Amino acid sequence: MNVSTPDRCLLCHKTKQIRPAGFRQGYKQVGRDPLSLSWWECGACSGWFVSPVPTPEEIEGHCNRANYNDPSQARAIAQGKDLLQRRVLSQLASWVRPGPLLDVGCSFGEFLLAARAEGWAPSGFEPYGPAAREAAQKGFDVRCEWVLEKAGFPDKYFSAVTAIDSFCFAWDPYRTLQLFHSLLQPGGVLAMRVTNKHAILNLARFLSLSGERRDARLTAILKGQFHSIGANSLGEILRGIGFDQLEIEPFATTAQWNTLSLGTRTAYSVAQGLYKGTFGRVNLSPGVLIFAQKES
C-alpha cells in the first residue's frame, strides 16, 4: 500500500521535514487481521505520528479488545491510579481555584468522582460509548463523540482541563491542544499525564533493522498510541499555542511503587538520577505530569 507523505506534522503543524519513521505499527482488530499503520517523523519537533489515522470503526474495533475498556477492570485500574489522581488534584489546586473541570478521556468516571470530592464541578468527554454511559450514570455531564470539537463544550469556560493518559490517543494532537487552550478560561490550567516513551522508541528503532521484527518491537512499546514526542518538545508546542506557565514533572507512576515491575522501577530510578544530574534537562521518566497555564 502506498501512502502519501502527510502535508503537515500532526504534533506541531509545521509543513516541512516530514519523512517516514522507518516502521509500521500493527494495530489489532477484533475478528480481523491487524491494520498496518504508517508512522512519520517530523524534523522540526522530532515527534512521530500515525498518518492516516484509523477510522472511528477501526479504533472502536481496537478499543473493544483492550482490557482497560472492560468495565470489570475499571475499578482495579482506577485504584492503581488513585495516588496519581490525588497528586493531579492537589497540584491543580495550587495553580487555580477549583471550578469547572473537563476530564478528556474520562473513561468510567473515577477521576470525575475524585475531582467532585475535592470541590471541582467536573464534566467528562469520552469517545467509548459504554464507558461514557457508566460515567454519566454517576451524575456527570459526560459527552460521547468521536472528536472533542463535536462535544459542544463552551469556549473559555473551564478552570481546568485534564487528560490523564488520553492525549496519546488524540489523532490530531496539535488541534487537540489548541482546543484544550480554547476551552480554558484565561489563567486556567491544563493537566496531562503522558507516557514519555520517545527516547526508548528511538533506542529500539536504532537497535533494529527495518522490517517485521522492528515493527513488532515498536508496536509492543507503543500500545496503541498514535503519536510520540519528547516531553520538552511537547512543552515547546504548548508554549507556542499560548500556555505561558509550564511545569513538567517526572516520576508520574500509575501504581504504587511496590506493585511496579522491577523493570519499571529501574526505568523510573535511572530516569530520576538523570533528571536530577542534568537539572531537569534530561527527562526520560516513563511517565510525566505536565501542568500548563493559559495566559491570563
Q: Specify the residue, 14 or 116, whose C-beta has the smaller distance to Zn ion.
A: 14
194-233 positions binding Zn ion, by CB under 5 A: none
Q: Specify the residue, 69 or 232, whose C-beta has the smaller distance to Zn ion.
A: 232
Indicate the DSSP class of residue 138.
Answer: T
Q: Specify the residue, 47 or 287, whose C-beta has the smaller distance to Zn ion.
A: 47
234 touches Zn ion (CB under 5 A): no
Q: By 3-state DSSP, what share of the chain in percent is helix, strand and coil, each rounded to 5? A: 40, 25, 35
Q: Specify the residue, 45 or 63, whose C-beta has the smaller distance to Zn ion.
A: 45
Report the 10 Å Cβ neighbour count for 43.
Answer: 12
Residue 45 CB, shortest distance to Zn ion, in Å, is: 3
Among 21, 37, 45, 96, binds Zn ion (CB under 5 A): 45
Among 26, 28, 44, 282, binds Zn ion (CB under 5 A): 44
What are the E-state strand segments in the chain?
Answer: 18-29, 32-42, 48-50, 100-104, 121-125, 141-143, 158-164, 184-195, 227-228, 243-249, 287-294
18 touches Zn ion (CB under 5 A): no
CA distance 34 to 108: 27
238 touches Zn ion (CB under 5 A): no
Instruction: Locate 145 and state its grid cell.
Output: 463523540
Q: Are 291 and 91 contacting, i.e. CB atoms less than 8 angstroms apart? A: yes
Q: Specify the residue, 89 or 229, whose C-beta has the smaller distance to Zn ion.
A: 229
42 touches Zn ion (CB under 5 A): yes
Beta bridge partners of 293: 189, 245
Residue 152 CB, shortest distance to Zn ion, in Å, is: 29
Residue 199 CB, shortest distance to Zn ion, in Å, is: 17
198 burial via Cβ count (<10 Å: 0-12, 13-18, 19+):
buried
113 touches Zn ion (CB under 5 A): no
List of residues contacting Zn ion (CB under 5 A): 9, 11-12, 42, 44-45, 47
